[in-house]
Structure 1
Amino acid sequence: MRIDLTDTNASKINKALVQGRRAIGTPAVGMVLTLVIVTDEEHAYDAIKAAGDASREHPSRTLVVIRRVSRSPRDRHDTRLDAELRLGSDAGAGETVLLRLRGELTRRADSVVLPLLLPDAPVVVWWPVGAPPVPAKDPLGALAQRRITDAYAVESPISELAARAAGYAPGDTDLAWTRLTPWRSMLAAALDQARAEVTSAVVESEAENPSAELLARWFVDRLKVPVEMVVTDGPVVTAVRLRTSEGEIHIDRPEGPVARLAIPGQPSRVLALKVRTTAELIAEELRRLDPDDTYAAALRVTVTAPGPGEEDAVTEAAAAETAPAEKTE
């Protein structure tokens, strides 16, 4: 079911949602959170589809904030809110409200969103593109317990990670980190089996990949070892090698949905390690709304590129740290 409202307000939207639910016989009590998506028209379709798929695991009210850019002086005085409501089969397992803001409302989106939040339910804000420099200080970000960005969606991902570290607040996370969950799980399990001290690590990936960068920082933070970054054709992270006193632990995924894991003294094995969809990444992030301290620690590590005559890329933290290696979590 779809309902279009032109030149409307939050009160009319709430009333239309109640009427729409009654018409299709769908209660609101099953929704567990409010997901606010801040995007533009170009990226709205993909973001809404991903949120709809994720809502089958986390039924939610999805508010899509689309700021319409004024193209003439006359348009700047056209302050207006248009809304499109989607319920039932058109909105996954929840309900979706597209909010198209014009004029002064583009700078006061929080005043439009606030009355539409589900009462007594967590709020998550996701910027598929165009995230603010400091998400927690953004008016919409300040409403949320969880703020999701994506460093992969910008032109300079590594610089974006530096900005995220500078403006980090508990509750911030990034899909570049979420993409690493299967890698981190497999590597932690491999280290538990090998029970050997790691002396260095190698991360192979396409150039300027933020997930690879965060993986290298995670190694430095947890293992206190130098990390070498190797550029490949991708896609994303293609291999990880952990050099230990007993031999090399490595996971290779040059292409496709499977990877090969090798541990010293054990036969190699094939594991499922596909590149996950945005919907799967969002669904994972919605499972936990508490601060991700591991992400915060990895984000703050600085990776130093090698200069002439220097060793392969190592992190400053690894160069200064002499504590014994510890296993990943």
Structure 2
Amino acid sequence: MIIELPDTNVSKISRALIDVREEGGAVALGRVLTLVIVTGHGAEEEAIEAANDASREHPMRVIVLMVGKDGDPRLDAQIRVGGDAGASEVVVLQAFGDAASNIESLVTGLLLPDAPVVVWWPDYPPEIPSASPLGRIAQRRITDASTRPYDAHRLSALGENHEPGDTDLAWTRLTHWREQLAAVLDQPPYEPITAIEVRGASSSPSTALLAAWLRLMLDVPVDWRYLPPDEWHDGIKSVRLVRESGDIVLERSSPAIACLYQPGQPDHDLVLPRRTLRECLAEELRRLDPDLLYGRVITEGWQLLGPPEPTEANG
């Protein structure tokens, strides 16, 4: 069910949410958090769809905020419940003109009482998320370095401005890669890794974060580089762990399949697809405490890593 509330205010929206709850029974009492999504007009549906899917694991209230600085002061709202909202209730806000001048006030009156707040910027995050009006009221702040703005220095900025509670979906996409590599290193022979090579697409900040994680955890040199588009164009391509008895290589042969090569063992094909937006968002919502490992990787690991090695294409 979708309820349209044109030219409204926060009090009317709050009242409408109470009316929906009373009509539908105690459907909102099990909400465990409020997710605030800050996005642009035309990009909201993908984010809402991901939040609706994630809500089946984390029942929540979703507030989607779209701001337009121009035009007459106006606040339009839409409430989605039932089949249009998964296991959540979705409030879509479009603010124009002076009505968009104080975005914190638009959101605070709609937050669930005594529930954690998570803010997600699918693209165009503030320069310092923790210092932004919405970031200050949130326990967790989620960005995505693989989306706009496309900036080669974006990971450096994330490290320089990092505060506990910040995280990025480029890091979340690494979970299965980190699990596979950790599992390999838990097997004999327990020889030290002496060098590491990481390769990936130039559009994949996850490649750099994986290299920073390996540099921090194993404390050995990491040769990492971005591949030209004609060689690889989607996410991480390969990791090579060098040791005395032979190299361990985990390499994608296609966007969904990776092959694990180990000395003295048969090759193994592994299902290792690029994680969906829903999977990454659901994982981040499982923990509302600071991700301390990500904090160390984006700060200490990134500083230790150094710039990528040049390729023939980017030379």
TM-score, length of structure 2 as denominator length: 0.92
In structure 1, the residue matched to 2:235 is 236
In structure 1, the residue matched to 2:86 is 92
Distance 2:150 2:36 in 1: 25
In structure 1, the residue matched to 2:216 is 221
Shift of 1:157: 4.3
Query: Any idea what SS the aligned residue of 1:120 has?
Result: coil
Gaps of 5+ in 2: 311-315
- Relative distance call for 1:157 and 1:289 in structure 2 (3 A) is farther
In structure 2, the residue matched to 1:39 is 39
Deviation track 1:175-233 (CA, whole Å, cap 9, x = no partner) reads 00000000001101111114220111111111252100011111111111111124141
Contact 1:126 1:148 survives alignment (8 Å) = yes
Query: Any idea what SS the aligned residue of 1:151 has?
Result: coil
Deviation track 1:276-314 (CA, whole Å, cap 9, x = no partner) reads 110111001001111111111111223333789xxxxxx
Q: Which amino acid aligns with 1:254?
A: S
- Relative distance call for 1:306 and 1:18 in structure 2 (3 A) is closer
In structure 2, the residue matched to 1:181 is 175
In structure 2, the residue matched to 1:316 is none
- After superposing on structure 2, the runs of 4+ consecutive aligned residues of structure 1 that deviate more than 6 Å are none
Aligned residues: 303
After superposition, residues 5-44 of structure 1 pair within 5 angstroms as: 5-44=5-44
TM-score, length of structure 1 as denominator length: 0.88
In structure 2, the residue matched to 1:320 is none
Contact 1:241 1:248 survives alignment (8 Å) = yes
- Relative distance call for 1:185 and 1:108 in structure 2 (3 A) is same
- Relative distance call for 1:62 and 1:24 in structure 2 (3 A) is same
For the aligned residue pairs, the C-alpha RMSD in angstroms reads 1.8
Gaps of 5+ in 1: 309-329
In structure 1, the residue matched to 2:67 is 67
Shift of 1:33: 0.6
Q: Out of 147, 159, 164, which is 1:165 matched to?
A: 159
Shift of 1:262: 2.1
Shift of 1:155: 4.5
Distance 2:126 2:158 in 1: 10
In structure 2, the residue matched to 1:312 is none
Distance 2:9 2:149 in 1: 36
Contact 1:234 1:254 survives alignment (8 Å) = no
In structure 2, the residue matched to 1:296 is 295
Contact 2:206 2:235 survives alignment (8 Å) = yes
Distance 2:241 2:296 in 1: 20
Contact 1:238 1:253 survives alignment (8 Å) = yes
In structure 1, the residue matched to 2:106 is 112
Shift of 1:234: 2.9
Distance 1:207 1:130 in 2: 19
Distance 1:148 1:297 in 2: 16
